[in-house]
């Protein structure tokens, strides 16, 4: 009896691929549980796709399907719009159209938020509705909620995140199985972790988008993608994975948001992290986000960072929030983003300080190390250890240097001079070392 009096909230979904299919499955499985928790029934009443005839892993009833996304947004019965199409151009038009119609929007599209987030958040406020994006960062981990709500009373000083499931899957398999980068990428794609354009994952842009969002929420001013320094994992070779391991480190694609004086470092790069740190054991598609707040201290969030079910779980959590906000008439209780810091700025990467791992390929003859050391000394850069592993006979041998804290600009200048030495046989390889203190 009570159930039949329950309000039904109609959600119109744009996108019926990996994540869209996952949302349908999750609601199928736990729809009644959600209804009893929310006091409202959630119904996906329309799904827009590009190709009505495409065979789908998760079947969508024909009666729900349309190939016209406007039919979803403009349907007066649609209470909430869920954008799971991806991309930044048409997706922006879709989201703006829904917000302008006063409809709450849920999106998992971090590329879109990164490129146009400020405009979309402003549109949500202007049209007295909301924009929800839990699924945009770290898959099933509720880290957006944690930053905006759980840590609302903290000044956030550090965030270290492994936020791209595809890269973490690739790097973990490289370390565990000795395989090469390109062998594993195709598998990550088949498992539904990778973006339609794999460069977004492996060149670090997906992490850049996510780190920009985390940094903006943590520091209260909008940090767009151009302000987040990015390097991807294409240059991580099996050789470096092995040397790092012998030195007691694991290579991870790491997102860093660090308060440095009055500024904020926001970067993404492959870094050596100590095996003894908990982030080093985050393997496969798992993500983890370490957050340090001045009151809460250190917290670690760990979970599946990509894939159908984990991402669907985050979308469903947003659906629940949107339903509760609709029910209580409080669309702006938690705005998607609020500027509260007008004084800070992003630290230019040149000024960021870290330790380094340097692998040189050198002619094995006396005096080479002295020349390299002299260049570093001239830039006041200290060497903490040197290893020339045995068993690499031939024309050239690897020389590994671990470098003390140095400014990025000083290190790059020294590296240019080292590269010009006649004894250097290949382009040097340099990764930062983060001790995560
Ligand atoms: P996907 O499998 O490629 O699915 C995209 C869906 O959108 C497809 O159903 C496609 O239709 C539909 N679509 C694309 N353009 C459309 C248009 N103009 N009109 C109507 N429908 C359109 O992608 P996905 O992996 O589900 O990712 C969707 C979004 O979630 C992306 O923003 C992605 O970054 C984000 N995300 C993905 C994951 C993940 O693990 N996969 C995790 C977090 C966030 P057809 O099926 O007919 O082609
Ligand atoms: N391609 C993304 C990843 C999906 O691998 O993490 C989740 O955002």
**Which of the 8 DSSP states describes residue 347?**
P
- The Cβ of residue 322 has, within 10 Å, a number of other Cβ atoms equal to 26
**Angle, CA of 282, 315 and 40, to the nearest 5°:** 135
The DSSP result for 24-92, as a single string, is HHHHHHHHHHHHHHHTEEEEEEEEE-S-TT---SS---GGGEES-HHHHHH-TT--EEEE-S--SSHHH
Distance in angstroms (rounded) separating the CA atoms of residues 386 and 309: 46
The pairing of beta strand 105-107 with beta strand 80-83: parallel
Atom of ligand 2 nearest to the CA of 163: 6
- Ligand 2, atom 1: closest residue by C-alpha: 194
Q: Which of 103, 210, 252, 259 is catalytic?
A: 210
Query: How many CA atoms, within 13 angstroms, populate the side-chain half-sphere of residue 72?
Result: 31
Question: Which residue's CA is the nearest one to ligand 2's atom 4?
Answer: 306
Pocket of ligand 1 (CB under 6 A): 14-20, 48-51, 54, 69, 84-86, 90, 108-109, 135, 139, 192-193, 195-196, 306-307, 311
Closest Cα to atom 25, ligand 1: which residue? 18
How far CA 132 is from CA of 43, 327, 434, in Å, comes to 18, 16, 32
Q: Tell me if 392 sits within 8 A of 426, measured CB to CB.
A: no
Residue among 134, 193, 211 whose CB has most ligand 2 atoms within 8 A, to mutate: 193
Between residues 81 and 188, the one the model is more confident about: 81
Ligand 2 surroundings by CB, under 6 angstroms? 139, 164-166, 193-195, 201, 206, 305-306
- As a whole number, mean pLDDT of residues 209-224 equals 98
β-bridge pairing 396-407 and 383-387: antiparallel
Nearest CA to 289 among 298, 417, 262, 297?
A: 298
User: Residue range 147-176: average pLDDT?
Assistant: 97
* Percentage of the chain lying above the pLDDT 70 cut: 98
Q: Give the closest residue to 165 by CA, choosing from 290, 3, 306.
A: 306
Mean pLDDT of 322-331: 96
Distance between CA atoms of 161 and 214, rounded to whole angstroms? 10
Poorest-pLDDT segment among 2-16, 88-102, 374-388: 2-16
CA of 82 to the centre of ligand 1 (A): 11
Helical residues (DSSP H) of 329-427, grouped into ranges:
368-378, 408-419
**Least distant ligand from the CA of 83:** 1
Joined together, the tokens standing for residue 60 give 């969508």
Predicted confidence (pLDDT) at residue 389 exceeds the cutoff of 70: yes
Contact in structure between 26 and 309 (CB atoms under 8 Å): yes
Cα 210 to ligand 2 centre (Å): 10
Q: By alpha-carbon position, which residue is closest to atom 1 of ligand 1? A: 17
pLDDT of residue 334: 95
Q: Considering only residues 373 and 393, tell me which one the structure prediction assigns the higher pLDDT.
A: 373
Exposure on the CB side of residue 379, measured as CA atoms within 13 A? 24
What pLDDT score was predicted for residue 394? 63
Mutate to test the pocket of ligand 2, among 194, 283, 311 (most ligand atoms within 8 A of CB): 194
For residue 180, the model assigns a pLDDT of 86
For the CA of 194, the nearest ligand: 2
Q: What is the mean pLDDT of the chain?
A: 95
Structure letter (DSSP) for residue 390: S
pLDDT at 187: 87
Q: Predicted confidence band at 108 (pLDDT cuts at 50, 70, 90)?
A: very high
Torsional class of 329: left (φ above 0), alpha (ψ -120 to 50), beta (otherwise): left
Q: How far is the CA of 374 from the centre of ligand 2 (A)?
A: 43
Nearest CA to ligand 1 atom 18: 50
Q: Whose CA is nearest to atom 36 of ligand 1?
A: 108
Q: How far is CA 125 from CA 49, 71, 90, 334, in A?
A: 28, 24, 21, 11
pLDDT at 365: 84
135 CA distance to ligand 1 centroid (A)? 13
CA of 432 to the centre of ligand 2 (A): 23
> Ligand 2 centre from 378 Cα, in Å?
42
Nearest alpha carbon to residue 291 among 299, 279, 283, 282: 299
How many angstroms is it from 425 CA to the middle of ligand 1?
Answer: 45
Phi, psi at residue 410, to the nearest 5°?
-65, -40
Decide: 362 and 422 in contact? Cβ < 8 Å.
no
Q: Which atom of ligand 2 is nearest to the CA of 110?
A: 8
Half-sphere exposure (Cβ direction) of 231: Cα atoms closer than 13 Å? 13
Task: Please list, in sequence order, all residues whose beta carbon lies within 8 angstroms of the beta carbon of residue 181, skipping any fewer than 6 positions away.
Answer: 170, 174, 202, 233, 234, 236, 237
Q: Compute the average pLDDT of residues 398-402.
A: 96
Mean pLDDT of 266-282: 98
Residue reference for tokens 């671990």: 402
From 192, 201, 210, 304, give the residue whose CB has the most ligand 2 atoms within 8 Å, as the site to mutate. Answer: 201
Does the annotation mark 371 as catalytic?
no
Residue 1 has pLDDT above 90, yes or no: no
């Amino acid at each position: 009896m009570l159930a039949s009096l329950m309000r039904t909230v109609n959600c119109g979904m744009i996108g019926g691929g990996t994540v869209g299919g996952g949302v349908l499955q999750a609601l199928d499985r736990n729809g009644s549980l959600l209804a009893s928790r929310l006091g409202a029934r959630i119904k996906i009443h329309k799904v827009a796709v590009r190709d009505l005839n495409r065979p789908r892993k998760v079947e969508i009833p024909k009666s729900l399907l349309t190939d016209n996304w406007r039919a979803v947004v403009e349907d007066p019965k649609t209470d909430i719009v869920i954008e799971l199409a991806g991309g930044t151009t048409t997706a922006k038009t879709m989201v703006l159209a829904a917000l302008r119609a006063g409809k709450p929007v849920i999106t998992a599209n971090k590329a879109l938020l990164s490129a146009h987030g400020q405009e979309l958040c402003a549109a949500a406020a202007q049209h007295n509705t909301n924009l929800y994006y839990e699924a945009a960062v770290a898959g099933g981990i509720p880290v957006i909620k944690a930053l905006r709500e759980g840590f609302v009373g903290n000044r956030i000083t550090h965030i270290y995140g492994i936020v791209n499931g595809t890269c973490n899957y690739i790097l973990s398999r490289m370390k565990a199985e000795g395989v090469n980068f390109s062998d594993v990428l195709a598998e990550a794609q088949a498992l539904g972790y990778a973006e339609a354009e794999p460069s977004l994952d492996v060149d670090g842009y997906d992490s850049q988008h996510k780190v920009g969002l985390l940094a903006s929420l943590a520091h209260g001013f909008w940090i767009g993608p151009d302000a987040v320094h990015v390097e991807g994992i294409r240059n991580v070779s099996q050789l470096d994975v092995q040397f790092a391991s012998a030195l007691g480190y694991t290579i991870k694609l790491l997102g860093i948001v660090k308060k440095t004086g009055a500024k904020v470092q926001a970067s993404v790069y492959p870094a050596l992290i100590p095996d003894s740190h908990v982030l080093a054991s985050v393997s496969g598609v798992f993500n983890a986000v370490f957050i340090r707040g001045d009151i809460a201290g250190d917290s670690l969030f760990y979970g599946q960072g990509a894939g159908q079910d984990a991402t669907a779980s985050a979308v469903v959590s947003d659906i629940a929030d949107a339903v509760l906000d609709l029910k209580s008439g409080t669309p702006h209780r938690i705005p998607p983003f609020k500027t509260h810091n007008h004084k800070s700025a992003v630290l230019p990467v040149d000024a960021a300080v870290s330790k380094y791992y340097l692998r040189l390929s050198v002619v094995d003859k006396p005096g080479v190390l002295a020349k390299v050391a002299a260049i570093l000394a001239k830039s006041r850069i200290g060497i903490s250890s040197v290893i020339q592993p045995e068993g690499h006979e031939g024309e050239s041998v690897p020389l590994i240097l671990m470098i003390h804290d140095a400014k990025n600009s000083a290190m790059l200048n020294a590296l240019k001079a080292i590269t010009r030495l006649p004894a250097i046989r290949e382009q040097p390889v340099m990764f930062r070392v983060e001790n995560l203190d």
